[in-house]
Amino acid sequence: MSAGLWLIGLGPGNLDHMSKVAIDVGRACSHRFLEGYTAILPPDQEERLESFVGNWERIMRPQVEDPGELVKLAKDVPVALLIVGDPMQATTHVDLEARCEELDINFNVIPGITATSLAVSLSGLQSYRFGRQVTIPYSYGNYLPSSPLEMIYRNYDNNLHTLVLLDLDPTGMGVEKPTPMNPNDAFRILQKMEEKMIEGRDSLSPRVKDFDGILLTDISLDSQKIIAGNLSEISECNEGWIHCLIIPSKMNQNEIEAFERRKIV
């Protein structure tokens, strides 16, 4: 293995979905760091990680956004940055490429399957009909942006479905180990955004409580669950480790049938 920084995609959360090349390159690197704030492995999968690639250390946002130690090591030996999903989905990781180019350090990417792409496939909705994805953030003090809900409405008005990711970090600092948001908290935060949006307006249609939704829990894990229904109804299903939502716009007949097959019984 040549010296350099190797960004290795671990896949959607279940390490059995790692590619052979990801495992081989991870094992061949001299140092392995698990990036622990843009996406996370379930605890049981973290326990398995050493058996796949060897011993590793966790690093958080400060060490990735100010990667002096990473690139210093990568100048002389191969260094693996292990990332859940696909490495280049996060802007922070794109910045690493630019940093390595500036310092003439070898930079390589080993792609991984993303939970976001699997969510679209598993939903039964047609992939070309999705608009921009959004993330529902935790509120920090009195600060709560309404832009995620505004984008959901914009997609809806353009007859596009929305993939909705749920925040992982209640602190917003990317330092502590993440705590995945549950569906009930996401629904409550969307309603707060709605209240903020209707100030000074006549109304919003449909209201948040009237949206249909598809809840995808623990994608790729043995505990994977996919349920469809009214958003207020499925938001009560909080079992599981990590969740995302899909809010469909007007569905065609094939999509309606797929939605009905996933409905809560």
Task: Write the CB contacts of 177 (distance below 8 Å, at least 6 apart in sequence).
Answer: 36, 40
Tens of pLDDT, residue by residue over 148-171, are 999 999 999 999 999 999 999 888
Helices (H), the chain: 20-28, 43-53, 61-65, 68-74, 91-102, 115-123, 147-157, 183-198, 231-234, 253-261
Task: Calculate what percentage of the chain has a pLDDT beyond 70.
Answer: 98
**Two tokens at 22?**
């990801």
Tens of pLDDT, residue by residue over 43-83, are 999 999 999 999 999 999 999 999 999 999 999 999 999 99
217 touches 135 (CB < 8 A):
no
Mean pLDDT confidence for 215-220:
97
Task: Write the CB contacts of 157 (distance below 8 Å, at least 6 apart in sequence).
Answer: none
CA-based nearest residue to 126, from 263, 259, 260, 255: 255
Tens of pLDDT, residue by residue over 72-115, are 999 999 999 999 999 998 888 999 999 999 999 999 999 999 99
Provide the pLDDT for residue 229: 96
d(CA 109, CA 103): 17
Axis crossing angle, helix 183-198 with helix 147-157, rounded to the nearest 10:
80
Q: Which is it for strands 107-110 and 162-166: parallel, antiparallel or unpaired?
A: unpaired
Tens of pLDDT, residue by residue over 11-43, are 999 999 999 999 999 999 999 999 998 899 999
Q: What long-range pairs does 107-110 form, CB within 8 A, spacing at least 24?
A: 107/4, 107/5, 107/7, 108/4, 108/5, 108/6, 108/7, 108/25, 109/6, 109/7, 109/9, 110/6, 110/7, 110/8, 110/9, 110/19, 110/21, 110/22, 110/25
Q: Which domains does the chain have, with CATH numbers?
A: 4-113 (3.40.1010.10), 116-261 (3.30.950.10)
Q: pLDDT category, 202, cuts 50, 70, 90?
A: low
As a whole number, the mean pLDDT across the chain is 94
